[in-house]
Amino acid sequence: MKKIHVIASAVALTAVMSSNAFAGATLDGVKKKGFVQCGVSTGLPGFSSADEKGNWSGLDVDVCRAVAAAVFGDAGKVKYTPLTAKERFTALQSGEIDMLSRNTTWTLTRDSSLGLNFAGVNYYDGQGFMVTKTLGVKSALELDGASFCIQAGTTTELNLADYFRANDMSYTPVTFDSSDETVKAFDAGRCDALTSDQSQLYALRIKLGNPDGAVVLPEVISKEPLGPVTAQGDDEWYKIVRWSLFAMLNAEELGINSGNVDELMSSADPNIRRLLGKEGIKGSGLGLPDSWATDIIKQVGNYAEAFERNVGMGSALKIARGQNALWNKGGLQYAPPIR
Amino acid sequence: MADEQRGVSEPAKPALWRRPAVRSLFFQLLLIAGIGFFGYTIFQNTLHNMQQRGISTGFGFLNSEAGFGILMTLIPFDETYTYGRTFLVGLLNTLLVASLGIIFATIIGFIMGVSRLSRNWIISRLATVYIEVFRNIPLLLQIMFWYFAVLRPLPGPRQSMIFNDTLFLNNRGLYMPSPIYEQGFWLVVVALLVAIVAAVLVARWAHKRQEATGQPFHTVYAAIGLVLGLPLLTFLMMGSPLSWDMPVLQRFNMGGGMVVIPELAALLVALSIYTGTFIAEAVRSGILAVSHGQTEAAHALGLRPGPTLRLVIIPQALRVIIPQLTSQYLNLTKNSSLATAIGYPDLVAVFAGTTLNQTGQAVEVIAMTMAVYLAISLSISLFMNWYNKRIQLVER
């Protein structure tokens, strides 16, 4: 009977323990581990892709690095988990990763029913189409009856269906698990057009056998605000991710970059002094060291630096800032003030 | 046992809790209760945790609109149908590839299994090479080989390979004319059903007559004649009530007709060839299990090689083959879930893939998918066990 008692209490204990597991702070777990486990794509140039040495880079990767810089003062303390679109939410829900930064569209369904919180928007995107030049198509409205290569489990699948239904046209979806497979299938002629977020189309075009043979159509058929995501139920961690992104945006707005941050440490501008942890609430509100934003700017750079380096003119993608310019320069990027 | 019982029955009966039967029952109940409690705890715990994390639960999502398209559907489907419908579409696609795969694998397996025992050196060696090569390469690689290396390099729709002006082969699939049934075609179907019933009756009559008089009857030829002849006759008498919808090249794809998509073809070929090797080995072992004395005895009775194989060897070999065949059928069905690697829209790719991701209800979706595979597998083994029992040796 004693044995049975032990087993019963052990069962009861696991029940209690596992129900508590989620309530604990992610920050403590991250500090204990010594790194941030970040979910990224399986390879999307400009946003998250690994080079031949296994070093990850990209606009989404920079958000992970910014969080690591804020927590540890070292942007290198990140471990990456490459995830397909189908795997990403389960990985976050199950606690396998601490945050997801994987060109993920913020939608009501995802925000309200998946147990997730979107921490902001690091790239404003919209869905577009890419076709081969030989097809002679000038507009998406000419694509009636065409087949499309799509990545499974994305908003792309839904937008495409909506667009064709609204315009009373027919289409054939050919879905694959990773964006890599979709671009290979498109290259081999399995489908007439590749559809995805426009930024991705430019990124994937680099992977084609003959990038100049393909053209991105002018239509943008949806709103795709892409941003980092955390699991619901840990507000502290959610705010750290959220404000790491805001710090990069605010740094750009205040003209602070990785090059001049050391000089500006002695600046008299109170806005700059607050961001760099010289006055105001500093890091205590987030439970971080006072130098959290300074570390982000030093090691990752401000938003403009990250953008240009990964997807802008300093990269192979050559995407213009467009909607992703700061609010005071005609774009949509706007971060709440640090005060 | 018997001694003990006699031993304890002489003095007064022991207390209830000392009786072995009662005690063992008690502990078994306790074990069941423990397992039940464990399962219940996990279930409750999952529910509790999901609720706490704001993940929606329940099966209500099955009734909401799916909003995405599927490449191949056997039943009407578009983005206005529900998630529940995507489940059905995926299930039917899985059943299609599994049942076709089982048929082809069985045909390939029986031919190759018999060939391997052939007295012809070349045939038996070819069968051996086939079995050893395809049995020992992982299935996933074979699927990818057929899809990426064989079917993908086919020309585009505008440069289709055309056979006889009716079949069009390109990298979007194999396009065939599809039949359009016109008025009066139902009579042909009726004729076919009548012919099948008649063939069964003829077979019964022939069997009875042979039992009574020893006179054999060519049942097979008669049945083929009936099943082919009667519908054909009706078809011609009704003035050929059937026309064909030919595939035509449209702006982007071929339109009209029927299409076998390359994803289905690759999966089917790989599954059939791979499972065929195991069935071939099962067939070979079954035939070898029947002792040579049986053949000699049949020959001594004056049976020719054909009837010997049909009436003596195969019925006995089947007893050995069927149980192995069952597990190969189960393997094939479960392996069909590798479809997701090449984008064939089976249950795993559509329902446990896209639907799961769009709704985020992993626990429900995965549970449903697992339950389906369990149900399919149990049905197959139930049927095969029934068949196995039927063909067991009946001793007179």
Using CA atoms, how far apart are residues B274 and B260, in angstroms rounded to an integer? 20
Tell me the residue ranges of DSSP E strands in chain A: 36-40, 49-50, 56-57, 78-82, 99-105, 116-118, 123-125, 127-132, 147-151, 172-176, 193-197, 214-216, 224-231
pLDDT tens across B262-275, in order?
999 999 999 999 99
* Pairwise CB contact (< 8 Å): A176 & B343: yes
- The predicted structure's pLDDT at residue B182: 81
- The predicted structure's pLDDT at residue A183: 92
ipTM for this model: 0.78
- Does A290 fall in a domain? yes
* A7 contacts in chain B (CB < 8 Å): 34
- Name the residue type at position A44: L
- The predicted structure's pLDDT at residue B102: 96
Give the residue numbers spanning the domain of A32: 25-124+225-329
pLDDT tens across A28-43, in order?
999 999 999 999 998 8
- The predicted structure's pLDDT at residue B394: 65
- Whether residues A324 and A233 share a domain: the answer is yes
- The predicted structure's pLDDT at residue A163: 93
- The predicted structure's pLDDT at residue B108: 96
- Does A231 fall in a domain? yes
- Does A336 fall in a domain? no
- Whether residues A170 and A305 share a domain: the answer is no
Of all residues in chain B, the one with the smallest CA distance to A161 is: B68
* A144 contacts in chain B (CB < 8 Å): 251
Number of structural domains (chain A) is: 2
CATH of B83-152+262-391, picked from 1.10.3720.10, 3.30.70.20, 1.10.260.40, 1.10.10.10, is 1.10.3720.10
Domain containing residue A195: CATH number = 3.40.190.10
Q: Would you say residue B143 has pLDDT above 60?
A: yes
| Residue B14 DSSP class | P
- The predicted structure's pLDDT at residue B351: 93
Smallest Cα–Cα separation from B339: which of B139, B152, B151?
B139
Q: What is the mean pLDDT of chain B?
A: 89
| Chain B CB within 8 Å of residue A162 CB | yes
CA distance A169 to chain B (A): 12
Using CA atoms, how far apart are residues A309 and A312, in angstroms rounded to an integer? 6
Q: Would you say residue B7 has pLDDT above 80?
A: no
- Whether residues A153 and A293 share a domain: the answer is no
* B90 contacts in chain A (CB < 8 Å): none
Give the Cα-Cα-Cα angle A77, A94, A61 (nearest 5 degrees). Answer: 35
Percent of chain B, pLDDT > 90? 49
Using CA atoms, how far apart are residues B112 and B130, in angstroms rounded to an integer? 8
Q: Would you say residue B221 has pLDDT above 50?
A: yes
Using CA atoms, how far apart are residues B184 and B234, in angstroms rounded to an integer? 10
Q: Would you say residue B63 has pLDDT above 60?
A: yes
- Whether residues A202 and A286 share a domain: the answer is no
| Chain B CB within 8 Å of residue A192 CB | yes
- Whether residues A217 and A250 share a domain: the answer is no
- Token output for B231: 């519908």
Q: What is the mean pLDDT of chain A?
A: 89
- Token output for B293: 């004395």
Of all residues in chain A, the one with the smallest CA distance to B34 is: A8
The mean pLDDT value for A243-264 works out to 96
- The predicted structure's pLDDT at residue B96: 96
Distance of CA A110 to the CA centre of its chain: 15
Q: Would you say residue A7 has pLDDT above 70?
A: no
pLDDT tens across A87-99, in order?
899 899 888 999 9
Q: Domain boundary at A222, A249, A271, which?
A: A222
- Whether residues A82 and A229 share a domain: the answer is yes
* pLDDT category of residue B215 using cuts at 50, 70 and 90: confident
The mean pLDDT value for B384-390 works out to 88
- The predicted structure's pLDDT at residue B9: 53
- The predicted structure's pLDDT at residue A2: 46
Q: Would you say residue B171 has pLDDT above 80?
A: yes
* Pairwise CB contact (< 8 Å): B362 & A19: no
Residues 6+ apart with CB under 8 A from B100: B268, B272
Can you give the pTM of this predicted structure? 0.82
Interface test with B, best of A6, A114, A116, A129 (most B CBs within 10 A): A114
- Whether residues A248 and A306 share a domain: the answer is yes
- Whether residues A292 and A145 share a domain: the answer is no
pLDDT tens across A159-190, in order?
999 999 999 998 999 998 888 889 999 998 89
- Whether residues A118 and A254 share a domain: the answer is yes
The mean pLDDT value for A49-73 works out to 95
Q: Domain boundary at A222, A243, A276, which?
A: A222
Q: Which of A301-305, B126-130, B357-361 has the lowest mean pLDDT?
A: B357-361
Q: Which of residues 2-21 of A touch B (CB under 8 A)?
A: 4, 7-8, 11-12, 14-15, 18-19
- Whether residues A40 and A69 share a domain: the answer is yes
